[in-house]
Structure 1
Amino acid sequence: MTNTLHRLNSSTSEANFKLSCDVVHSKIIRHDQSLIDSILAHDNPQEPIITLPDGQKYFWYLAIGSMNNPISLYLRDLIPIISYPAICLNHRVIFRGVGGMADIESCEGSEFDGVVHLLSEEQMNRLDKMEMSYERIIVPVVNYQNQSHSAYAYKMTITSHPDNLPSERYLDIIVKGCEYYGVRPDYIKRLREEQAVTPRKEPHMYQSINDVPSDVLYTIDDLVKHNGSDPNYAIWICINGKILEHVGLPPSDSPEYEAQKQFHTIIQSRFAGREADFEIAKAIYEPLHKLPLNEEDLTDEHRAMLEDHHLSMRSRNDQNNKYWKPIGRLRRSNKITNSSL
């Protein structure tokens, strides 16, 4: 890597990450130590699963990406039984594909640090669904007391994705998670100083949804009617105060049909008939901004960032652009939502 490549600047997000951690600490109910001890009494370091006499199962999971961050875990309703920093032996982390997401590959003699979590079976099953483009593999880990264990890690199912730089936001999440859970400072320093990133955009560079009629306003009640439950109403979503209407699926014999149908189902279940900003903010955590607890917690700059992210995702698949059209703006409490950024 050359010195001209951009490196992580994590100082700008320190204050809001601390505030976010304070919020999480106030919300989480800690596991009772007696429960933890009763689970660990049945642990076998050679196995990545703990099975209790009553059949309950718990899974050792090595997080290599955003799941080593307490805020990312909280936003996905994942509360580990315990967590600790560890070294993964004979493997390395690489960043692949669109967005430069973390992947793991076998590499004799290499090692990297991550965070091991103990999750319930229900949590692990949900995590499997979240990591739909990954598969679980078993890897050897060693904690900082030189105690070895087997753990699950997620490996991309498609390894033909080219190597790519992680975003600055993504690496910031990883680094802050490593710091939070006590990963070795030398490893964190390597991530900061040696791993190049795609730099964050400055707010003035954010993309904005164009061609939104300025004189067409809708209320929250109008928006809710378009949640997909009534076929007489087209699906609407609202991003940064701008309402987009789904214009319909392509013909069933179109090569785009299945992909658009799947995308339509996801949108309907998660975003239809409501403001999408808060849900997107939970999925696309940005340490620069304090963890939002509701729509009102989102600042104008945060909303503008989420709008930019939405447009960036759409631009990666031009097919999506022609199925959504801007139709107006959302009015709240007799005021138009601030969406001029």
Structure 2
Amino acid sequence: MTNLLHRLNSLASDANFKLSCDILRSKLVPQEKSIIDLILTNNNPEQAEIILPDGRIFVWYFAIGSMINPISLYLRDLTPIISYPVICKDHKIVFRSPNGMADIEACLDAEFHGVVHLLTNEQMKHLDEIEFTYHRIKIKCIDYQGQYHTAYAYQMNIKDQLSGIPYERYLDIIVKGCEYYGVQSVYINRLKDEQPVIPRKQPANFQSFKDFLSDTYYSIDKLQKHNGDDPSLPLWVSINGKILEYAGLPPNDHPDYEVQQKFNTFVKQKLGGREVTNIAAKGLYDPLYKIPLNDEDICDEHRAQIEDYYYDTLGNPQNKLYWKPIGRLRQPDDSS
């Protein structure tokens, strides 16, 4: 019941989000107006793509979740040519179980707000890879000047999935993005005041990996060899300087096999043989902290938050039997 009563505390992240946006603006190079005008000259409101005479393709994308946020976009190498707020008619936003991720659902006479980005076709294909649990659909949206446009949105692949409660971090990403791009305050206030969230953990409640010999250290070279490519070496990952070892897949007929096979494939491709804190800071961006462009940008509390996330992920019933902490990652200046 507590989660049903908790609402977003957006003030807590205001200062670091402003700092992150200032850093972002210093790095982005605005697109020349003449180029934007050339692209828009070929625009057709009935089409989600713009095809230039030279064959280049640009795509209108309607963002409803993390991709509303400029920092989330930048950390995924997505740099829209233009962006502006819109309303999507006859649809509603739904947060889906189990993790409260945003989805779009047809609903007559309903409407909700989001942000339209114009991306290159290459960036849109990259986004397809990121949103692999979703598929593209075409929607009609209307900007605040009353102009209609066709755009792509992402809808979850699993139909009729139950609704869920978003995490506070996730809703904060959406709200901050809405504020940045000028979405109408009536919609922003509805998200703040009416949408329940699962509250952020307080730092005092963060959990960490323990139960390994405190004097056991491994080099980065050793860690990298355990990336899953060599079947004779167990898979390792390092989380906040703590190395965990994977026990290996269960037998093919084991009830956990399918889940573990998928998870193992993901870890090998994205995390195996690496220190994952920086990767996670970008992939699990939180407006509460400064934009993580390098290791120095990640404060101790943020590192502890990331470790807590993986403690919950690897410690859940499906994974806890397969991962164990075995030691620490030796830092470059660590002579022990």
- TM-score bin, normalised by smaller chain: over 0.9
Aligned positions of 1:1-341 closer than 5 A: 5-316=5-316, 318-335=317-334
Sequence identity (%): 56
Q: RMSD across aligned C-alpha pairs, in angstroms?
A: 2.1
Shift of the alpha carbon at 1:296?
Answer: 2.9
Distance 1:151 1:288 in 2: 31
Aligned residues of 1:42 and 1:50 also touching (Cα < 8 A): yes
Aligned residues of 2:227 and 2:268 also touching (Cα < 8 A): yes
SS in 1 for 2:90: strand
Distance 1:167 1:78 in 2: 24
Q: Which moved more, 1:321-330 or 1:80-89?
A: 321-330
Q: In the alignment, residue 88 of structure 2 is paired with which amino acid?
A: C
Q: Which moved more, 1:122-131 or 1:153-162?
A: 153-162
User: Are the structure 2 counterparts of residues 310 and 2 from structure 1 closer, same or farther at C-alpha, using a change threshold of 3 Å?
Assistant: closer
Cα deviation, 1:239-267, whole Å, max 9, x if unaligned, reads 01110012222234445434433322322
Aligned residues of 1:95 and 1:164 also touching (Cα < 8 A): yes
Would you say how many aligned residue pairs link Structure 1 and Structure 2? Answer: 336
Q: Which moved more, 1:73-82 or 1:244-253?
A: 244-253
Distance 1:186 1:41 in 2: 33
SS in 2 for 1:78: coil
SS in 2 for 1:152: strand
Cα deviation, 1:87-116, whole Å, max 9, x if unaligned, reads 111111111112211111111111111000
SS in 2 for 1:320: coil
Shift of the alpha carbon at 1:206?
Answer: 1.3
Structure 1 regions of 5+ residues with no counterpart? none
Aligned residues of 2:242 and 2:325 also touching (Cα < 8 A): yes
User: Are the structure 2 counterparts of residues 235 and 2 from structure 1 closer, same or farther at C-alpha, using a change threshold of 3 Å?
Assistant: closer
Aligned residues of 1:213 and 1:326 also touching (Cα < 8 A): no
User: Are the structure 2 counterparts of residues 4 and 234 from structure 1 closer, same or farther at C-alpha, using a change threshold of 3 Å?
Assistant: closer
Aligned residues of 1:329 and 1:336 also touching (Cα < 8 A): no
Aligned residues of 1:330 and 1:336 also touching (Cα < 8 A): no
Distance 1:303 1:213 in 2: 21
Distance 1:299 1:285 in 2: 13
Cα deviation, 1:163-221, whole Å, max 9, x if unaligned, reads 11111111100000000000111111111111111111101111222312212122223
Shift of the alpha carbon at 1:49?
Answer: 1.2
Distance 1:64 1:93 in 2: 8
Distance 1:307 1:65 in 2: 24
Structure 2 regions of 5+ residues with no counterpart? none
Aligned residues of 2:314 and 2:323 also touching (Cα < 8 A): no
Q: In the alignment, residue 95 of structure 2 is paired with which amino acid?
A: F
